[in-house]
Structure 1
Amino acid sequence: MQRYFVTGGQQEDSITFSVEDVHHIRRVMRMEEGSRVYAVFPDGKTAVAVLDQVTETDVRASVEEWVEDTVELPVDVVLACGLVKGDKFDYIIQKGTELGAAGFVPFEAARSIVKWDRKKSGKKIERWQKIAKEAAEQSHRSRLPSVAEPMPLASLIEYGQQFDVTIFAYEESAKKGEQAAFYEAVSRLSPGSRLLVVTGPEGGFSDQEANVLSESGFKPCALGPRILRAETAPLYVLSAISFYLELKR
């Protein structure tokens, strides 16, 4: 059953859909009145909804039954990633959403090859949000991850003050054979905890960035003995956290 995130809310048991979702329902899925979909509301509640009205410009539905979903990670994991070139950040958002990320924060790193064009920021953020929405629907999430506008490292450090645990993936830690910091950080998490994970761009962190992060309370962590690509590291983190908190017995 197809899943849609409802941003317009619910009024008197009538659910309305966005213009993009109306197009998807009619043109892609070719649904008709009487078809059923999952409708996910901003508060995370999910319902099976029956389409009552399907026209060229409007689709309306009503709640048939509420569904108890337990698909979200028990902790909030936000990925702060140094700006990377090409479509790598698209990939991080798509796969990170599938793996349960609560949000994404790109930041302007010293070694980022790509430079943020603020004149095009609106369209870029809109694209990233669309990628997150589609991935969340595909993976049957009950929560839509947030995507922030890129920020400098200083702003990221200030942003990190609202989290319970803050770490950064540091390849120098891996080269030195450090193996315990990431495990210790994850083992400190409990249901409802918030974790901010910072990963670098293609060139990694500069020495100055690593020092500033460490001095600001971010724990440097190795992600195993191998050096991971910029687009691999955040996904490794999410996979490991999922195993530790959801699958380990």
Structure 2
Amino acid sequence: MQRYFVPAHTWSDKTIKITGDDVHHIKRVMRFQAGDEIICNHPDGQAAICQITFLDNQVVYADIVDWLTHHAELPVDIAIAQALPKGDKLEWILQKGTELGAHRFLPFQAARSVVKWEERRKEKKVKRWHKIVKEASEQSHRNKIPAVDPCKGLSEIIEASKDYDFALFAYEEEAKSEQHQSLGSALAKLEKKQSLLVCIGPEGGFSDEEVKFLKENEFQAIRLGPRILRTETAALYTLASISYHFEEMRCSSCQQ
């Protein structure tokens, strides 16, 4: 069933009003008609099966039929601080990272980022990023849309990390060390309902100064397996590992 995220102010006790781009998708792309059912998500994470009662080119009205109890969010809040990569890699990370359950994305300008953030294009870029995570949330039947921050500097990532229970950064030198800390050992310390920020470097990795700065501010260096991953792979490896650790491995152990 097709899912749509609908702003809170358009909900009433029994009826939902849908406007904007979703109207075009409902009417022109999906070709829904009065009587068809869709799923509507409230920003607080609740979702309901709704039946369309009226639609034209500007607005769709739907009545709430039944509230859903299924939740598809990770049991921990995971933020990905991603150094700006080349090309359209960030859009790929946003889309796939949303499907894998990320709670928030914080793009940042790293010392070795080839791409340079253009402040004049900020509004257009952030708007596109929000569109990407919204559509990925609908496709993957998320209960919430991840937040996407405007591009920051590393100092702002450090400041943001104070809102999280743990802060890690993927460091390729950890993969070469026998005394490394693995992602698995870090996740063993994380409990449900806690939060974690993971910082991923650009194609050229973190500079020595950035590594020092992160460690001085209580970021723990981790390795993501014994192989060196591309920057666009690292975030997805992290999220997939977290999903397995909290949603599959623990679920399986509970059933035994």
- Please tell me the residue identity of whatever aligns with 1:62: D
Q: Does 1:6 align with 2:6?
A: yes
Q: Alignment partner of 2:231: what SS?
A: coil
Partner of 2:20 in structure 1?
A: 19
CA distance in 1, matches of 2:31, 2:179: 54
**8 A Cα contact 1:199 1:234, kept in partner:** yes
Q: Secondary structure at the match of 1:232?
A: helix
Report how far residue 208 of structure 1 moved: 0.4
Q: TM-score, normalised by structure 1?
A: 0.98
Q: How does 1:220-235 map to 2 (within 5 A)?
A: 220-235=221-236
Normalised by the size of structure 2, how large is the TM-score? 0.95
Deviation at 1:230, TM superposition (A): 0.5
Please name the residue that 1:101 is paired with.
Answer: 102
Inter-partner Cα distance in structure 1 for 2:242 and 2:81: 16
Q: CA deviation at 1:47?
A: 0.2
Deviations 1:145-193 (A, max 9, x none): 0000011111110110010010000001112244534222211111111
* Partners of 1:18 and 1:205 in 2: CA distance: 43
Contact 1:82 1:107 in 2 (8 A): yes
**C-alpha distance in structure 2 between counterparts of 1:180 and 1:125, whole Å:** 34
After superposition, the Cα gap between the structure-2 partners of 1:30 and 1:71, relative to the gap in structure 1 and judged at 3 Å, is same
Task: For structure 2, list consecutive stretches of 5 or more residues without a partner in the other structure.
Answer: none
Tell whether the 8 Å contact from 1:129 to 1:147 is kept in structure 2 after alignment.
yes
* 1:168-247 matched pairs, under 5 angstroms: 168-247=169-248
Residue 154 of structure 1 aligns to a residue whose secondary structure is: helix
Gaps of 5+ in 1: none
Q: Distance between the aligned counterparts of 2:159 and 2:113, measured in 1? A: 20
Counterpart in the other structure of 1:126: 127
Equivalent pairs counted in the alignment come to: 249
Please identify runs of 4+ aligned residues in structure 1 that moved more than 2 A.
177-181
**Does the CA-based 8 Å contact 2:182-2:224 persist in structure 1?**
no
What is the alpha-carbon distance in structure 2 between the residues aligned to residue 69 and residue 102 of structure 1?
18
Cα deviation 1:79-125 (Å, max 9, x = unaligned): 00001111000000000000000010001100000000010110100
Conserved 8 A contact 1:9-1:42: no
**Paired-residue identity, %:** 46
Please name the residue that 2:155 is paired with. 154
Return the letter of the residue paired with 2:147. Answer: S
RMSD, aligned α-carbons: 1.0
